[in-house]
Amino acid sequence: MTTFVSTDISVIPLTGIVGAEITGVDASRPLDDAAVARVRAALDQYKVVFLRDQNLDYDSQVAFAARFGDLTLGHPIYDAPDGLPHLREMDSRQGTRANHWHTDLTFIERPPAYAFLHSKVIPQVGGDTLWANTVSAYATLPDELRELADRLRIVHSNDCDFTDDTYAHRAADGDQDDYVSIPYETEHPAVRVHPGTGERSLLLGGFARRVVGYGPQASRDLIRMLQEYVTRPEQSVRWKWRVGDLAIWDNQATQHYAVYDYGAAHRRGERVTAAGPVPVGVDGRPSAVLRGDTAAYSTGAL
């Protein structure tokens, strides 16, 4: 198979803070190292990038994503479709919604580094997704709050407000029980140091449950206060999907929100994820597992 050679790749910023569209890349074909490096550099700068009109099947999506790191299994809790171990189906007809701000899977020790979501079915209206830059959000914190955040540790759990609201409509089918039947909890730094860029970012989102050393009310207040800096409109980009779009985001430097404004219409995407390292805080302390074992997910083991 002929390797795609990068000759005409363009990166078009969508805002001054986060998001860019990349043209001139066909993710269904093998890419040369220069093309991969260009996409990775755009991810480092813009945190989420979009490629229109990508004709991907499972094998080509997996092959493309694998250029950015070892792949995880599809999900640490749910089984992947038969014969497609790295795939996570995001299907509204199966009740899958993510209409809360979150960083993917922060209740485990090693949240994914990168996510690759390919759109298959898009509602005629609605169904956009927003991404926020958690690096620039950290940079906007007042000095005193930034110094406090640098020292905080936050417990993330799969049994949280995000889970309650997002999966409650699936309880009749037993999926809610499946999601929380095995508890997963990890203590993460509130501020992580990006392993590639060295940038500091806020590690929060919908799975954040409590702040270590603080009571329930103080924990909620601290998380809410920090989270508000992430979700300010100027920190975000909104993407209007078309069938065939491929979104790639740095899960180590973003949060996202899939807007549920399409009623009973069908929305479906297919996601694969590249494994991430254990987050490390400003003080050099890594995250620590409190409950649950997701080592098989992170290593892609069957």
Identify residue 294 by its one-letter amino acid code.
T
For the question of residue 256 being annotated catalytic, the response is yes
Q: β-pairing, 185-189 with 288-291?
A: antiparallel
Rounded to whole angstroms, how far apart are CA atoms 241 and 248?
A: 13
Token pair, residue 166, equals: 């997002």
d(CA 195, CA 37): 16
**Distance, CA of 83 to CA of 146 (rounded, Å):** 46
State the helix-helix crossing angle for 143-151 and 216-230, rounded to 10 degrees: 120
Catalytic residue list contains 271: yes
Q: DSSP secondary-structure letter at 141?
A: S
> Which is the catalytic residue, given 88, 102, 110, 200?
102
Coil/strand/helix, residue 93: helix
Residue 183's SS3 state is: coil
Let me know if 150 is a catalytic residue.
no
Please return the burial class of 105, using the count of CB atoms within 10 Å of its CB with bins 0-12, 13-18 and 19+.
buried
Distances (CA, A) of 228 to 18, 19, 53, 122, 232: 17, 19, 34, 29, 6
169 is catalytic: no
Catalytic pick among 88, 104, 110, 200: 104
Strands 246-250 and 153-157: unpaired
Known catalytic residues are 102, 104, 256, 271
